[in-house]
Structure 1
Amino acid sequence: MKKQLILASSSPRRQELLKQVQIPFTIRKPDIDESQINTSDPIEKVKQLAILKGRNVPICSKDEVILSADTVVSYNQNIFEKPKNKEDAYQMISKLSGVIHEVFTGVMIRSIDLEKVFVERTKVEFWPLSEEEIEWYVSSNEPYDKAGAYGIQSLGALLVKQIIGDYYNVMGLPISRLVRELRG
Protein backbone atom coordinates (compact mmCIF):
# COMPACT_ATOMS: atom_id res chain seq x y z
CA MET A 1 0.00 0.00 0.00
CA LYS A 2 1.32 3.43 -0.94
CA LYS A 3 1.76 6.06 1.76
CA GLN A 4 0.21 9.53 1.46
CA LEU A 5 2.61 12.38 2.31
CA ILE A 6 1.12 15.23 4.33
CA LEU A 7 3.19 18.42 4.33
CA ALA A 8 2.77 20.19 7.66
CA SER A 9 3.77 23.55 6.20
CA SER A 10 2.52 26.37 4.03
CA SER A 11 6.02 27.14 2.73
CA PRO A 12 5.89 27.70 -1.03
CA ARG A 13 9.54 26.63 -1.34
CA ARG A 14 8.96 23.28 0.36
CA GLN A 15 5.95 22.70 -1.88
CA GLU A 16 8.02 23.64 -4.95
CA LEU A 17 10.78 21.19 -4.00
CA LEU A 18 8.40 18.28 -3.48
CA LYS A 19 6.74 19.01 -6.83
CA GLN A 20 10.16 19.28 -8.50
CA VAL A 21 10.98 15.69 -7.54
CA GLN A 22 7.45 14.52 -8.29
CA ILE A 23 6.46 13.55 -4.76
CA PRO A 24 2.68 13.89 -4.40
CA PHE A 25 1.52 15.53 -1.18
CA THR A 26 -1.33 17.35 0.46
CA ILE A 27 -0.99 20.26 2.83
CA ARG A 28 -2.20 20.27 6.41
CA LYS A 29 -0.94 23.40 8.16
CA PRO A 30 0.01 23.16 11.83
CA ASP A 31 -1.43 25.68 14.27
CA ILE A 32 1.43 26.35 16.66
CA ASP A 33 3.09 29.15 18.59
CA GLU A 34 6.75 29.07 17.49
CA SER A 35 7.73 31.47 20.30
CA GLN A 36 7.42 28.64 22.83
CA ILE A 37 10.74 27.26 21.47
CA ASN A 38 13.33 29.66 22.83
CA THR A 39 16.66 27.84 22.70
CA SER A 40 19.64 29.72 21.27
CA ASP A 41 21.16 26.54 19.81
CA PRO A 42 20.23 26.49 16.10
CA ILE A 43 20.30 22.69 15.85
CA GLU A 44 18.01 22.27 18.86
CA LYS A 45 15.76 25.08 17.64
CA VAL A 46 15.07 23.55 14.21
CA LYS A 47 14.69 20.09 15.74
CA GLN A 48 12.20 21.27 18.34
CA LEU A 49 10.25 23.37 15.83
CA ALA A 50 10.03 20.49 13.34
CA ILE A 51 8.78 18.23 16.15
CA LEU A 52 6.29 20.83 17.37
CA LYS A 53 4.88 21.28 13.86
CA GLY A 54 4.88 17.56 13.06
CA ARG A 55 3.11 16.53 16.24
CA ASN A 56 0.50 19.28 15.84
CA VAL A 57 -0.83 17.79 12.60
CA PRO A 58 -3.04 14.75 13.18
CA ILE A 59 -2.51 11.45 11.42
CA CYS A 60 -5.92 10.60 9.96
CA SER A 61 -5.15 7.17 8.52
CA LYS A 62 -2.53 4.44 8.81
CA ASP A 63 -1.34 5.33 5.29
CA GLU A 64 -0.38 8.93 6.11
CA VAL A 65 3.14 10.21 6.68
CA ILE A 66 3.49 13.69 8.17
CA LEU A 67 6.44 15.81 6.99
CA SER A 68 7.38 18.95 8.91
CA ALA A 69 10.45 21.16 8.74
CA ASP A 70 11.94 24.39 9.99
CA THR A 71 14.96 26.36 8.77
CA VAL A 72 17.17 28.97 10.44
CA VAL A 73 20.35 30.78 9.53
CA SER A 74 23.09 30.98 12.14
CA TYR A 75 26.17 33.18 12.35
CA ASN A 76 28.44 34.02 15.25
CA GLN A 77 26.17 32.15 17.70
CA ASN A 78 23.12 34.17 16.62
CA ILE A 79 20.01 32.71 15.01
CA PHE A 80 18.58 34.67 12.09
CA GLU A 81 14.96 33.80 11.49
CA LYS A 82 12.56 35.70 9.22
CA PRO A 83 13.14 39.47 9.45
CA LYS A 84 10.46 41.55 11.15
CA ASN A 85 10.92 44.57 8.86
CA LYS A 86 13.30 46.28 6.40
CA GLU A 87 15.69 47.42 9.15
CA ASP A 88 15.89 43.89 10.55
CA ALA A 89 16.56 42.49 7.04
CA TYR A 90 19.26 45.14 6.47
CA GLN A 91 20.98 44.21 9.75
CA MET A 92 20.93 40.49 8.92
CA ILE A 93 22.32 40.89 5.40
CA SER A 94 24.96 43.34 6.70
CA LYS A 95 26.13 40.83 9.30
CA LEU A 96 26.28 38.04 6.70
CA SER A 97 28.21 40.18 4.19
CA GLY A 98 31.64 38.68 3.45
CA VAL A 99 31.35 35.81 5.93
CA ILE A 100 30.50 32.13 6.08
CA HIS A 101 27.30 31.29 7.95
CA GLU A 102 25.32 28.10 8.45
CA VAL A 103 21.82 27.12 7.42
CA PHE A 104 20.10 24.43 9.49
CA THR A 105 16.92 22.62 8.57
CA GLY A 106 15.24 20.30 11.02
CA VAL A 107 12.96 17.68 9.49
CA MET A 108 10.44 15.37 11.13
CA ILE A 109 8.86 12.35 9.43
CA ARG A 110 5.98 10.85 11.40
CA SER A 111 3.55 8.01 10.82
CA ILE A 112 1.50 5.68 13.02
CA ASP A 113 4.52 3.47 13.70
CA LEU A 114 7.50 5.77 13.14
CA GLU A 115 8.92 9.09 14.23
CA LYS A 116 12.22 10.26 12.71
CA VAL A 117 13.96 13.61 13.15
CA PHE A 118 17.14 14.81 11.47
CA VAL A 119 18.99 18.09 10.94
CA GLU A 120 20.87 19.07 7.80
CA ARG A 121 23.57 21.76 7.83
CA THR A 122 24.88 23.76 4.88
CA LYS A 123 27.60 26.43 4.96
CA VAL A 124 27.04 29.53 2.84
CA GLU A 125 29.52 32.31 2.12
CA PHE A 126 28.34 35.76 1.01
CA TRP A 127 30.40 38.11 -1.10
CA PRO A 128 31.44 41.30 0.69
CA LEU A 129 28.45 43.53 -0.06
CA SER A 130 28.34 47.31 -0.42
CA GLU A 131 25.68 49.37 1.35
CA GLU A 132 24.08 49.96 -2.05
CA GLU A 133 23.86 46.22 -2.76
CA ILE A 134 22.33 45.53 0.65
CA GLU A 135 19.86 48.42 0.26
CA TRP A 136 18.90 47.19 -3.23
CA TYR A 137 18.28 43.68 -1.95
CA VAL A 138 16.25 44.59 1.14
CA SER A 139 14.16 46.98 -0.99
CA SER A 140 12.94 43.99 -2.98
CA ASN A 141 10.08 41.94 -1.55
CA GLU A 142 12.30 38.90 -1.28
CA PRO A 143 13.81 38.97 2.26
CA TYR A 144 10.66 39.09 4.34
CA ASP A 145 9.45 35.50 4.46
CA LYS A 146 12.84 33.82 4.54
CA ALA A 147 15.18 32.77 7.34
CA GLY A 148 18.28 34.96 7.31
CA ALA A 149 16.47 37.48 5.07
CA TYR A 150 17.52 35.91 1.78
CA GLY A 151 16.40 33.39 -0.78
CA ILE A 152 19.23 31.58 -2.57
CA GLN A 153 16.86 30.47 -5.36
CA SER A 154 16.13 33.99 -6.63
CA LEU A 155 17.67 37.46 -6.16
CA GLY A 156 19.58 36.22 -3.11
CA ALA A 157 21.71 34.13 -5.49
CA LEU A 158 23.58 37.35 -6.28
CA LEU A 159 24.77 37.59 -2.65
CA VAL A 160 26.23 34.07 -2.48
CA LYS A 161 29.89 33.43 -3.22
CA GLN A 162 29.82 29.69 -2.43
CA ILE A 163 27.98 26.94 -0.60
CA ILE A 164 29.30 23.82 1.05
CA GLY A 165 26.55 21.24 1.40
CA ASP A 166 23.01 20.82 0.15
CA TYR A 167 21.72 23.75 -1.94
CA TYR A 168 18.11 22.66 -1.38
CA ASN A 169 18.66 22.74 2.39
CA VAL A 170 19.27 26.48 2.02
CA MET A 171 15.89 26.70 0.26
CA GLY A 172 14.29 25.02 3.28
CA LEU A 173 14.19 21.27 2.59
CA PRO A 174 17.13 18.90 2.07
CA ILE A 175 15.19 17.02 -0.57
CA SER A 176 17.79 14.36 -1.46
CA ARG A 177 18.26 13.27 2.16
CA LEU A 178 14.53 13.49 2.76
CA VAL A 179 13.83 11.02 -0.05
CA ARG A 180 16.40 8.62 1.38
CA GLU A 181 14.90 8.92 4.86
CA LEU A 182 11.39 8.32 3.50
CA ARG A 183 12.59 5.16 1.75
CA GLY A 184 14.45 3.88 4.80
Structure 2
Amino acid sequence: MKHFNNLILASKSPRRKQLLEQVGFTFDVKTIEFDEVFPEDLEISKVAEYLAIEKNKAHREAFKSGTIITADTVVIFTDKILGKPTDEDEAHKVLKLLSGKIHQVMSGVCISNEEKQISFSNLTEVKFHELTDEEINHYVKTASPMDKAGSYGIQEWIGLIGVEWIKGSYFNVVGLPIDQVYKTLITEF
Protein backbone atom coordinates (compact mmCIF):
# COMPACT_ATOMS: atom_id res chain seq x y z
CA MET A 1 0.00 0.00 0.00
CA LYS A 2 1.29 3.41 -0.96
CA HIS A 3 1.87 5.73 1.98
CA PHE A 4 1.08 9.44 1.93
CA ASN A 5 2.87 11.74 4.38
CA ASN A 6 0.08 14.26 4.60
CA LEU A 7 -3.23 12.94 3.27
CA ILE A 8 -6.23 15.09 4.20
CA LEU A 9 -9.90 14.21 3.91
CA ALA A 10 -11.68 17.57 3.81
CA SER A 11 -15.12 16.22 4.69
CA LYS A 12 -17.23 15.90 7.83
CA SER A 13 -18.91 12.77 6.45
CA PRO A 14 -18.36 9.76 8.73
CA ARG A 15 -19.15 7.52 5.75
CA ARG A 16 -16.36 8.97 3.60
CA LYS A 17 -13.95 8.65 6.52
CA GLN A 18 -14.92 5.01 7.04
CA LEU A 19 -14.49 4.13 3.35
CA LEU A 20 -11.00 5.66 3.21
CA GLU A 21 -10.06 3.79 6.40
CA GLN A 22 -11.39 0.51 5.02
CA VAL A 23 -9.06 0.65 1.99
CA GLY A 24 -6.12 1.23 4.31
CA PHE A 25 -5.20 4.89 3.95
CA THR A 26 -3.85 6.88 6.90
CA PHE A 27 -5.16 10.44 6.82
CA ASP A 28 -6.34 13.39 8.86
CA VAL A 29 -9.80 14.89 8.68
CA LYS A 30 -9.58 18.67 8.39
CA THR A 31 -12.45 20.89 7.36
CA ILE A 32 -13.30 24.53 7.03
CA GLU A 33 -16.70 26.08 6.55
CA PHE A 34 -17.76 26.11 2.91
CA ASP A 35 -20.92 27.54 1.37
CA GLU A 36 -22.18 24.98 -1.16
CA VAL A 37 -23.41 27.35 -3.87
CA PHE A 38 -23.12 26.91 -7.61
CA PRO A 39 -24.08 28.96 -10.66
CA GLU A 40 -27.78 28.64 -11.48
CA ASP A 41 -27.04 27.96 -15.15
CA LEU A 42 -24.62 25.10 -14.41
CA GLU A 43 -25.67 21.75 -15.90
CA ILE A 44 -27.06 19.52 -13.16
CA SER A 45 -24.66 16.72 -14.13
CA LYS A 46 -21.72 19.04 -13.37
CA VAL A 47 -22.82 20.36 -9.95
CA ALA A 48 -21.24 17.71 -7.71
CA GLU A 49 -17.84 17.93 -9.40
CA TYR A 50 -17.99 21.75 -9.46
CA LEU A 51 -18.64 21.82 -5.70
CA ALA A 52 -15.86 19.28 -5.03
CA ILE A 53 -13.41 21.46 -7.00
CA GLU A 54 -14.48 24.64 -5.22
CA LYS A 55 -14.21 22.92 -1.81
CA ASN A 56 -10.74 21.72 -2.77
CA LYS A 57 -9.62 25.24 -3.74
CA ALA A 58 -10.87 26.62 -0.41
CA HIS A 59 -9.15 23.86 1.57
CA ARG A 60 -5.94 24.27 -0.47
CA GLU A 61 -5.84 27.93 0.65
CA ALA A 62 -6.32 26.90 4.29
CA PHE A 63 -3.95 23.90 4.26
CA LYS A 64 -1.06 24.74 1.95
CA SER A 65 0.62 21.33 1.83
CA GLY A 66 -0.54 17.74 1.55
CA THR A 67 -2.83 15.74 -0.66
CA ILE A 68 -6.39 16.96 -0.18
CA ILE A 69 -9.51 14.96 -1.01
CA THR A 70 -12.85 16.75 -1.31
CA ALA A 71 -16.19 15.36 -2.44
CA ASP A 72 -19.79 16.31 -2.92
CA THR A 73 -22.78 14.05 -3.52
CA VAL A 74 -26.10 15.11 -4.99
CA VAL A 75 -29.30 13.22 -5.63
CA ILE A 76 -30.99 14.03 -8.94
CA PHE A 77 -34.65 13.36 -9.68
CA THR A 78 -36.49 14.66 -12.75
CA ASP A 79 -33.62 17.04 -13.54
CA LYS A 80 -33.73 18.62 -10.09
CA ILE A 81 -31.23 18.33 -7.26
CA LEU A 82 -32.67 17.01 -4.01
CA GLY A 83 -30.53 18.42 -1.23
CA LYS A 84 -30.45 17.62 2.45
CA PRO A 85 -33.89 17.99 4.05
CA THR A 86 -34.51 20.86 6.43
CA ASP A 87 -36.92 18.91 8.65
CA GLU A 88 -38.70 15.55 9.04
CA ASP A 89 -41.63 16.76 6.96
CA GLU A 90 -39.40 17.51 3.98
CA ALA A 91 -37.54 14.19 4.42
CA HIS A 92 -40.89 12.36 4.28
CA LYS A 93 -41.96 14.26 1.14
CA VAL A 94 -38.67 13.52 -0.65
CA LEU A 95 -38.82 9.79 0.16
CA LYS A 96 -42.46 9.70 -0.98
CA LEU A 97 -41.33 11.35 -4.24
CA LEU A 98 -38.59 8.72 -4.78
CA SER A 99 -40.85 5.80 -3.86
CA GLY A 100 -41.25 3.36 -6.76
CA LYS A 101 -39.10 5.47 -9.05
CA ILE A 102 -35.55 5.75 -10.42
CA HIS A 103 -33.22 8.56 -9.38
CA GLN A 104 -29.53 9.30 -9.88
CA VAL A 105 -26.81 9.81 -7.33
CA MET A 106 -23.84 11.84 -8.55
CA SER A 107 -20.63 12.25 -6.58
CA GLY A 108 -17.93 14.66 -7.59
CA VAL A 109 -14.41 14.21 -6.23
CA CYS A 110 -11.37 16.48 -6.39
CA ILE A 111 -7.90 15.41 -5.28
CA SER A 112 -4.99 17.83 -5.25
CA ASN A 113 -1.47 18.29 -4.00
CA GLU A 114 0.96 21.18 -4.47
CA GLU A 115 1.65 20.17 -8.09
CA LYS A 116 -1.64 19.01 -9.57
CA GLN A 117 -5.38 18.61 -9.26
CA ILE A 118 -7.57 15.81 -10.63
CA SER A 119 -11.36 15.77 -10.50
CA PHE A 120 -14.03 13.35 -11.69
CA SER A 121 -17.69 12.45 -11.31
CA ASN A 122 -19.43 9.14 -10.74
CA LEU A 123 -23.09 8.40 -11.50
CA THR A 124 -25.24 5.63 -10.05
CA GLU A 125 -28.91 4.95 -10.75
CA VAL A 126 -31.10 3.77 -7.88
CA LYS A 127 -34.65 2.40 -7.99
CA PHE A 128 -36.77 2.23 -4.87
CA HIS A 129 -39.61 -0.22 -4.31
CA GLU A 130 -42.94 1.39 -3.52
CA LEU A 131 -42.51 2.59 0.06
CA THR A 132 -45.47 2.76 2.44
CA ASP A 133 -46.09 5.82 4.61
CA GLU A 134 -45.45 3.59 7.63
CA GLU A 135 -42.01 2.57 6.27
CA ILE A 136 -41.09 6.17 5.46
CA ASN A 137 -42.26 7.40 8.88
CA HIS A 138 -40.30 4.64 10.63
CA TYR A 139 -37.12 5.57 8.77
CA VAL A 140 -37.48 9.33 9.28
CA LYS A 141 -38.13 8.83 13.04
CA THR A 142 -35.38 6.26 13.69
CA ALA A 143 -32.55 7.27 11.33
CA SER A 144 -30.82 10.55 10.58
CA PRO A 145 -31.96 11.62 7.10
CA MET A 146 -31.20 15.30 7.79
CA ASP A 147 -27.50 15.07 6.89
CA LYS A 148 -28.06 13.15 3.66
CA ALA A 149 -28.75 14.32 0.13
CA GLY A 150 -32.07 12.87 -1.02
CA SER A 151 -33.09 12.26 2.62
CA TYR A 152 -31.67 8.73 2.87
CA GLY A 153 -28.60 6.61 3.39
CA ILE A 154 -28.50 3.47 1.23
CA GLN A 155 -26.53 1.67 3.97
CA GLU A 156 -29.34 2.30 6.48
CA TRP A 157 -32.68 0.56 7.10
CA ILE A 158 -34.48 2.29 4.20
CA GLY A 159 -31.79 1.07 1.79
CA LEU A 160 -31.97 -2.46 3.12
CA ILE A 161 -35.73 -2.74 2.68
CA GLY A 162 -36.41 -0.15 0.00
CA VAL A 163 -33.82 -0.36 -2.78
CA GLU A 164 -35.04 -2.60 -5.62
CA TRP A 165 -31.85 -2.23 -7.70
CA ILE A 166 -28.85 -0.05 -8.37
CA LYS A 167 -26.83 0.42 -11.55
CA GLY A 168 -23.32 1.62 -10.84
CA SER A 169 -21.20 1.98 -7.71
CA TYR A 170 -22.89 1.20 -4.40
CA PHE A 171 -20.17 3.15 -2.55
CA ASN A 172 -20.88 6.19 -4.73
CA VAL A 173 -24.39 6.19 -3.24
CA VAL A 174 -22.87 5.88 0.25
CA GLY A 175 -20.99 9.09 -0.57
CA LEU A 176 -17.63 8.29 -2.16
CA PRO A 177 -16.75 6.25 -5.26
CA ILE A 178 -13.92 4.66 -3.30
CA ASP A 179 -12.65 2.49 -6.15
CA GLN A 180 -11.99 5.59 -8.29
CA VAL A 181 -10.50 7.50 -5.36
CA TYR A 182 -8.18 4.59 -4.56
CA LYS A 183 -7.03 4.15 -8.18
CA THR A 184 -6.49 7.89 -8.63
CA LEU A 185 -4.45 8.22 -5.43
CA ILE A 186 -2.32 5.14 -6.19
CA THR A 187 -1.63 5.93 -9.86
CA GLU A 188 -1.64 9.74 -10.00
CA PHE A 189 -0.28 10.88 -6.62
The TM-score range, normalised by the shorter chain, is: over 0.9
Q: Secondary structure at the match of 1:98?
A: coil
Question: Please, which of 85, 88, 91 is the counterpart of residue 86 of structure 1?
Answer: 88
1:60 has 2:56 as partner: no
Question: Please, which of 141, 165, 170 is the counterpart of residue 168 of structure 2?
Answer: 165
Question: Please, which of 120, 129, 132 is the counterpart of residue 130 of structure 1?
Answer: 132
Aligned in 2, Cα 1:40/1:96: closer, same or farther, shift over 3 Å? farther
Identity of aligned residues (%): 38
Question: Alpha carbon RMSD of aligned pairs, Å?
Answer: 1.6
Q: Is the 8 A contact 1:142 1:155 kept in 2?
A: no
Q: Secondary structure at the match of 1:116?
A: strand
In structure 2, C-alpha distance between the alignment counterparts of 1:32 and 1:38, rounded to whole Å: 18
Q: Is the 8 A contact 2:37 2:51 kept in 1?
A: no
Superposed, 1:107-126 pairs within 5 Å as 107-126=109-128
Q: Is the 8 A contact 2:145 2:152 kept in 1?
A: yes
TM-score by length of 1: 0.92
1:179 has 2:182 as partner: yes
Partner of 2:148: 146
**Following TM superposition, by how much is the alpha carbon of 1:132 offset from its aligned partner in structure 2, in angstroms?**
1.5
**Following TM superposition, by how much is the alpha carbon of 1:41 offset from its aligned partner in structure 2, in angstroms?**
3.4
Q: Is the 8 A contact 2:38 2:51 kept in 1?
A: no
The amino acid across from 1:179 in the alignment is Y
Moved more, 35-44 or 139-148: 35-44
Partner of 1:47: 49
Partner of 2:98: 96
The amino acid across from 2:140 in the alignment is V
Q: Is the 8 A contact 1:81 1:148 kept in 2?
A: yes
Structure 1 ranges of 4+ moved more than 4 A:
36-40
Tell me, which stretches of 5 or more residues in structure 2 are unaligned? none
In structure 1, C-alpha distance between the alignment counterparts of 2:142 and 2:43, rounded to whole Å: 30
In structure 2, C-alpha distance between the alignment counterparts of 1:40 and 1:144, rounded to whole Å: 25
The amino acid across from 1:173 in the alignment is L
Q: Is the 8 A contact 2:110 2:117 kept in 1?
A: yes
In structure 1, C-alpha distance between the alignment counterparts of 2:93 and 2:136, rounded to whole Å: 9
Q: Secondary structure at the match of 1:34?
A: coil
**Following TM superposition, by how much is the alpha carbon of 1:22 offset from its aligned partner in structure 2, in angstroms?**
1.2
In structure 1, C-alpha distance between the alignment counterparts of 2:158 and 2:144, rounded to whole Å: 8
